[in-house]
Amino acid sequence: MTNAYTQEQLEQRYREAIEVLLPIAMKDTSGGRAAAQVLLSTYNAYQFHLNPLDLGLLDPQSLFNAAFDVLQLRIMLSIEPHEMIENGDDRFLQVWQRWEQLRIQNRYKEAVTNAGISGTLRAERS
């Protein structure tokens, strides 16, 4: 993006990208998980991180571009995504609750448990 865009145009683009990703983020699909990671990591990076490889799970046209718009415009505008949309607090809370397992503190618990190695045993092996 260049300086040819006005603040208003950038905010509108950001708002539209968020609105594109929100309904996808509520779906129980790999694309939903990727959309949720984009939204939640720009909403609260202390609690949620984005696995960049998961961006490849998004539709290569509209969803992929929307994800990059959210990431880029969050940084350029310094406006949290929930502040850009109507009922943003409630809508982002719904995504947070839907994808609680993606919180940093929860993210890898299932993988470790499924591997048959508890966190304690894993630490003891190191």
42 CB contacts (<8 Å, ≥6 apart)?
Answer: 70, 71, 74, 80, 81
Contact 48, 102 (CB under 8 A): yes
pLDDT digits (tens), the chain, 126 positions: 456 899 999 999 999 999 999 999 999 999 999 999 999 999 999 999 999 999 999 998 889 999 999 999 999 999 999 999 999 999 999 999 999 999 998 876 655 555 554 444 444 444
pTM above 0.85, yes or no: no
Contact 55, 67 (CB under 8 A): yes
pLDDT of residue 103: 93
Q: Where are the domains of the chain?
A: 7-125
- Beta-bridge partners for 103: 48
Distance CA 83, CA 89 (A): 8
